[in-house]
Structure 1
């Protein structure tokens, strides 16, 4: 087992770290307060190749392996989880799905746009009434000659108001997962509506939307994968997407650790820095251990993906542990900061708010425990 990074991986890590320190960290609080990330950052992410990682160069991607992708995602998550989410969704869920399941025509049409940042994608699976129970979604696609008419609504869609294409999952057949089909839907089509969701606890800068589709017409060539195979497209995307979320959580934990160590060395109580108090060191040590454990779980998933081995359970494990660890880390960092951690002049309150949603999306912690339990016992407890 060799955990040393290759020269290429180390270069990607440095590039992402420099980008985060220069383009993200100085503006994260401002974006959080304004509830909007500066949209120009999308183009810069594309220019540096962060929106094309693991996508073949022939389609405009920047190539590389999944460990390098996780290293970059960690750095972006350290800077601002709202920015990390732009990449995780447009690249991790949409572009990678097109690369894996798309026709040659679909790849040529969409991948160069998505990987360059000229276009963004959103992943339209969750609905107002179906979150964890995604197999029972109610958005419908009905054939009309050689076209499809899509009608329904989607909720909590990252990049929703910014996206140029939505990967929409709709019911085309029987109840349950076998009746779901995936479609690549340009968001400018007649009948496609979107409303931004404001007042979120965390990820305030991220463009999160409710989408509405009212007889949105798309040709059959917009279908991604076979009819009735949309649910498997979604689940395969989410299995890799959970790796990306976990890597972003590693970034949050790192940011918490850095902030807590720095503040503990500066803040004095009882005539000495609080870093010299045993229980403060305990808080910091616990965060450090969670950081190492979370990162190793993420790296294991990336290694399995790159070697073409099964990884779904390991991805659930990494996402479950790292998301819960990020909440613990942010809570501990806030405790180190004391009352100052409770105001947004300091970053740890934002880390806690951002970390909390990580235990909810792309599978709640409870769903991942069920997935892991089913894999171990062979019994479905749903």
Structure 2
């Protein structure tokens, strides 16, 4: 496998880094509150970074999501890409691709997904019924990708008859909402295997987002402990601080490398179910450790709800909850490995 980004992927990541660092500032994030930053979202789409995902693939998307995670920028970028652009591009019909992809790429349409499937939605002749308690970025979405009990994928317009959405507050400000469907029309996307492919890509993408969140938290901790002095010397010179930061760095790199491997395999069309689960497990388990470490290394400042590092803490915990707690992911991974050995 080759983790070196292509020229196009590196250029897209560099552009994303500049846009996120310029616009996702602490002051703007504080002013945005629990909603999404519409100006930042427009900047990303105008720059072509949403539409570019078709060309740069999942590896490229992971690189861009790392940049979003470093700043905890509040835009529906991950959701639109993994629940809109990528599944439509990979599994949609020629007519669906021609109709949906331009709007998703320009930001005119915003997608999210009610993933993973937990048997909440039933489908009868293309009409969907059921409730999902919390869907990320649902308040921004024009479309939501819904798996039914048979794991078929359906794309539903949020303004369609039989669709009700209502705001819910989650740990991190993701403009989440409750989705209630009562006989809503759904548009089928793909066939057998589309759900598994989309779930693996989504787990991988959100693990990449977690890698960025952790890297941003650790960078803030390093900066703080290098300048904050105690007893006449920087906190970073204390062995306990150095060891805690070193552990956080290794955890962050473990999230990153497992995510790159899963993304590369998916882009190459190779089996990646267990690799995506591995990346998600590291993002969940190690991600919690890193954002806790980042907050603890700030000492009393880490308890300040208005301090930037606290946002990384909230995002890290929310991604842990969204990916599924480590024990759940580990159980699924173990079952998959055992099933493979018995086959």
1:276 is displaced (CA, Å) by 1.4
Alpha-carbon distance change, 6 to 150 in structure 1, aligned in 2, over 3 angstroms: closer
Residue 132 of structure 2 is aligned to residue 154 of structure 1: yes
1:321 is displaced (CA, Å) by 0.7
Q: Structure 2 matches for 1:114-125, cutoff 5 A?
A: 114-125=104-115
1:181 is displaced (CA, Å) by 3.3
Q: Is the 8 A contact 1:298 1:315 kept in 2?
A: yes
In structure 1, C-alpha distance between the alignment counterparts of 2:12 and 2:261, rounded to whole Å: 18
Q: Which string of whole-angstrom CA distances, capped at 9 and with x for unpartnered residues, describes residues 35-90 of structure 1?
A: 112223322221222322432xxxxxxx123322211110011111643xx12211
Q: Which string of whole-angstrom CA distances, capped at 9 and with x for unpartnered residues, describes residues 154-173 of structure 1?
A: 221112122112223335xx
Q: SS where residue 122 of structure 1 aligns?
A: strand
1:31 is displaced (CA, Å) by 5.1
Q: Structure 2 matches for 1:35-184, cutoff 5 A?
A: 35-55=34-54, 63-80=55-72, 82-83=74-75, 86-125=76-115, 134=117, 136-137=119-120, 139-143=121-125, 148-171=126-149, 177=150, 180-184=151-155
Give me the TM-score of the superposition, normalised by structure 1.
Answer: 0.82
Alpha-carbon distance change, 331 to 364 in structure 1, aligned in 2, over 3 angstroms: closer
In structure 2, C-alpha distance between the alignment counterparts of 1:338 and 1:269, rounded to whole Å: 12
Structure 2 residues without counterparts, runs of 5 or longer? none
In structure 2, C-alpha distance between the alignment counterparts of 1:253 and 1:362, rounded to whole Å: 15
Aligned to 1:210: 178
Aligned to 1:130: none
In structure 2, C-alpha distance between the alignment counterparts of 1:36 and 1:217, rounded to whole Å: 28
Alpha-carbon distance change, 339 to 8 in structure 1, aligned in 2, over 3 angstroms: same
Alpha-carbon distance change, 181 to 314 in structure 1, aligned in 2, over 3 angstroms: closer
Aligned to 1:16: 16
Give structure 1 regions of 4+ aligned residues with deviation exceeding 6 angstroms.
none
Q: Which string of whole-angstrom CA distances, capped at 9 and with x for unpartnered residues, describes residues 102-149 of structure 1?
A: 1111111111111111110121346xxxxxxx3533x33333xxxx43
Count of matched residue pairs = 341
Q: Is the 8 A contact 1:192 1:213 kept in 2?
A: yes
Residue 275 of structure 2 is aligned to residue 307 of structure 1: no
Higher mean C-alpha deviation, range 156-165 or range 112-121 = 156-165
Alpha-carbon distance change, 217 to 75 in structure 1, aligned in 2, over 3 angstroms: closer
Aligned to 1:317: 278
Structure with bigger helix share is: 2
Residue 299 of structure 2 is aligned to residue 338 of structure 1: yes
Q: Is the 8 A contact 1:252 1:355 kept in 2?
A: yes
Please tell me the root mean square deviation across aligned C-alpha atoms, in Å: 2.3
Structure 1 residues without counterparts, runs of 5 or longer? 56-62, 127-133, 172-176
Q: Which has the larger radius of gyration?
A: 1
Q: SS where residue 161 of structure 1 aligns?
A: helix
